[in-house]
A = this chain, B = another copy of it.
Amino acid sequence: MARVLEAQPGSTQLSLVADIFAALSDPTRLRILLALSREDLCVCDLAAVTGVSSSAVSHQLRLLRDRRLVSFRREGKRAVYRLADSHVAALLAQGTQHAGERA
C-alpha cells in the first residue's frame, strides 16, 4: 500500500495520459481517426464520413492536432490530414478489440 502510493506517477504525467484517452473518448473523433487509419483525407471528406458539419470536424481536428494525434499538409485549398504515428493506430486497435470482446 505504501508502495502503491510511491508508484503513482506525478500529476502532470497523469494529465498527459488522461488527455490522450480523452481524445479517443468521443465517437466523432474515433470516426475521424479510424478513417485516417485507412487513408489520408481532407476536412470535407471527414465531414462526410462522420456525418457532422465541416465546422465541427475542424474543431475536433484542432483538438487532435494539439494533442499530436494527427498532422496535416496543405494541398491547394484543401487540408489533408493523416495519423501522426503508429502508436495512435495501436491504441485504436487495442480499444476496439477490447470493446469487441464484450459485445
A interface with B by C-beta (< 8 Å): 1, 3-5, 7-9, 11, 13-22, 24-27, 30-31, 34-35, 38-39, 41, 45, 48-49, 68, 87, 90-91, 94-103
Contact = CB atoms under 8 A, between A and B. Distances in A.
B13 A18 contact: no
Nearest to A93: B94
- Oligomer copy total: 2
B21 A34 contact: no
A18 B41 CA distance: 22
B99 A16 contact: yes
Given A4-B49, A27-B15, A35-B8, A20 B98 contact: yes
A14 B1 contact: no
B30 A14 contact: yes
Contact of A34 (B8, B27, B41, B101): B8
A26 B38 CA distance: 29
A27 B11 contact: yes
